[in-house]
Amino acid sequence: MTLHTDATHDPSLRSWVASANVAGCDFPIQNLPFGRFRVAGGAARIGVAIGDQILDLRAAGLIDTDDMNALMAAPPAQRQALRARLSQGLASAAIGSAQQAAWQAALVPQAQAEMLLPCRIGDYTDFYTSVHHATNVGKQFRPDNPLLPNYKWVPIGYHGRASSIGVSGAPVKRPMGQLKAPDAAAPVLAPCKRLDYELELGWFVGQGNAQGESIAIGEAEQHLFGVALFNDWSARDIQGWEYQPLGPFLSKNFASTLSPWVVTLEALAPFRAPFTRPEGDPQPLPYLDSAANRAHGAFSITLEVLLQTERMRAEGMAPVVLSRTDTTRAAYWTPAQLVAHHTVNGCNLQSGDLFGSGTLSGPGADEAGSLLELAVAGQRPVQLPNGEQRSFLEDGDTLTLRGWCERAGAVRIGLGEVSGTIVG
C-alpha cells in the first residue's frame, strides 16, 4: 500500500508555474494528476496538470509513449520515480535550470486543450459501496427490509458498459426505454421522465493480474493507479421496470461521465483514514480484512454536487450546491477490498479497468448523492433559489460534481470537476 508521505508532499513546496501556488488550486505541485489531451485536433498526448497548465510528458522528455494504459501498467516503484522527477523539475528550486527552460516549452494552457478520457477503459464494474445510499433506496422499494442481508458481507457490484463512458463536458442525451406505470397493464416505449445523477468516484486499475490468480488484500493497492470523479447517469423509471431479476441494463448503459484527471494513490497518501465498521456490524471475511486496511485503508475525499438549470444560466445565476459529503462518511468498503473481492474468483483485471464506487451518500439528509434520495423519489422536490423545483433532471440542466482533499499539515489537492448537460 502507498502509505507514507515523502518529499513530493512537502507543504512548503512551491512551483515555478505560478498558478499552481494559488490558494485553493486543485492542482498544486503536491498533486500532479495524469490525463490525456490534444490541441487543435492533434494527436492525443499524456499530460500532468500543474496549476492551470498541462505539462506534456513526451515533449518534456519524461516518457516515450502516448499510451496511458502502458504508463498505468508500470510497476508502482517506476510511477513513484516519475512523480519524484516531476516534483523536482517543477519545483521553484529548478528556476533558471536548463530543465526548467525545456519544460516551460512543454507547457500547454488547460484552456487551450481538449481533454480526453484518461485511458482506454476495457471493462467497467459499478459497485454499491455506500450503506446509506443502499438503505435510502431500499426504504423506497422495500420499507420493511431496506438493506438486503448480503450487503454487509459482500461488496455488491455489476458489470457496466464501458463504451458509453464519456469525458466531462459531453452532453447527455435523455434515453428512451420501456416505462410502466404501477396501474398500467403494459409498458410503453418513451423518453425517460426520471433522469438522475449518481455521485461516484472511479478507481482505475494499474497493473492487472493473470486469470485464475486472485489478488490478496495486502497487495490490492499495488494494482490501483488512481481515482477520478464519476457520474453514472441513471434512468430511474426504466430501472424500476427492468432491474428484476438481473439488475440494471438500459437504465445505466446510455451514459456515464468521468473527470479528465486521475489523481494517483501516491498523491492521496496524506489523506488516508482508518476503515472502521459501526459497532454491531459484522467484520469482513478474512480475504477482505487486514490490519493495514483497518488502520488506513480509507481515503478522506470531500465530494460536492452542484446544479445549474437552463433558466439559472440565462439569468446569470451561479450553480447551487445540492449536497456535500466525505468518503469516510459514505463508503462502507475500501478500494483495496473492491480489488480483493473482484479477483477472489480468479477474474483477471487489466490496465485501465474502471471501478465505480456506486453512489456515495453520507448519513445526513444533505449528504445524498442522487435526486432519488434528495427528493425522496419525487415526493419532496428540491427547492432552488430562483423558485424552480427539481424531482429529477430536466433538459438544459447542467450537473457538476467536484472533489478535493484537505487536512491540517497538508496542501489541499483537488480532483477537478465533472459536468454534463441534459439534452432532449
Check if 133 is active-site: yes
Dihedrals phi, psi of 372, to nearest 5 degrees: -55, -35
SS3 annotation, the chain: CCCCCCHHHCCCCCECCHHHHCCCCCCCCCCCCEEEEECCCCCCEEEEEECCEEEECCCCCCCCCCCHHHHHCCCHHHHHHHHHHHHHHHEHHHCCCHHHHHHHHCEEEHHHCEEECCCCCCCEEEECCCHHHHHHHHHHHCCCCCCCCCCCCCCCEEECCCCCEEECCCCEECCEEEECCCCCCCCEEEECCCEECCEEEEEEECCCCCCCCCCCHHHHHHHEEEEEEEECCEEHHHHHHHCCCCCCCCCCCCCEEECCCEEECCCCHHHEECCCCCCCCCCCCHHHCCHHHHHHCEECCEEEEEEECHHHHHCCCCCEEEEEEEHHHHCCCCHHHHHHHHHCCCCCCCCCCEEECCCCCCCCHHHCCCHHHHCCCCCCCEECCCCCEECCCCCCCEEEEEEEECCCCCCCEEEEEEEEEEEC
Residue 174's closest CA among 376, 370, 392, 357?
392
User: Could you say which of 4, 9, 132, 133 is catalytic?
Assistant: 133
Residue 402's closest CA among 424, 382, 419?
419
Contact 124, 159 (CB under 8 A): yes
Question: What does the block give as the cell for 42?
Answer: 492533434
Contact 308, 320 (CB under 8 A): yes
* 2 labeled binding residue: no
* 124 labeled binding residue: no
* 359 labeled binding residue: yes
Residue 18's closest CA among 9, 27, 8, 10?
27
**Dist. CA 244–CA 404, nearest whole Å:** 36
* 126 labeled binding residue: yes
* 92 labeled binding residue: no
* 232 labeled binding residue: yes
CA distances from 89 to 34, 71, 233 (A): 16, 19, 40
* 152 labeled binding residue: no
* 351 labeled binding residue: no
* 412 labeled binding residue: no
* 112 labeled binding residue: no
* 128 labeled binding residue: yes
Sequence ranges of the binding site for substrate = 128, 142, 239, 243, 359
Annotated binding-site positions for Mg(2+): 232, 252, 256
**Residues taking part in catalysis:** 133
- Residues annotated within a binding site: 126, 128, 142, 198, 200, 232, 239, 243, 252, 256, 359
Per the annotation, binding residues for Ca(2+) are: 126, 198, 200, 232
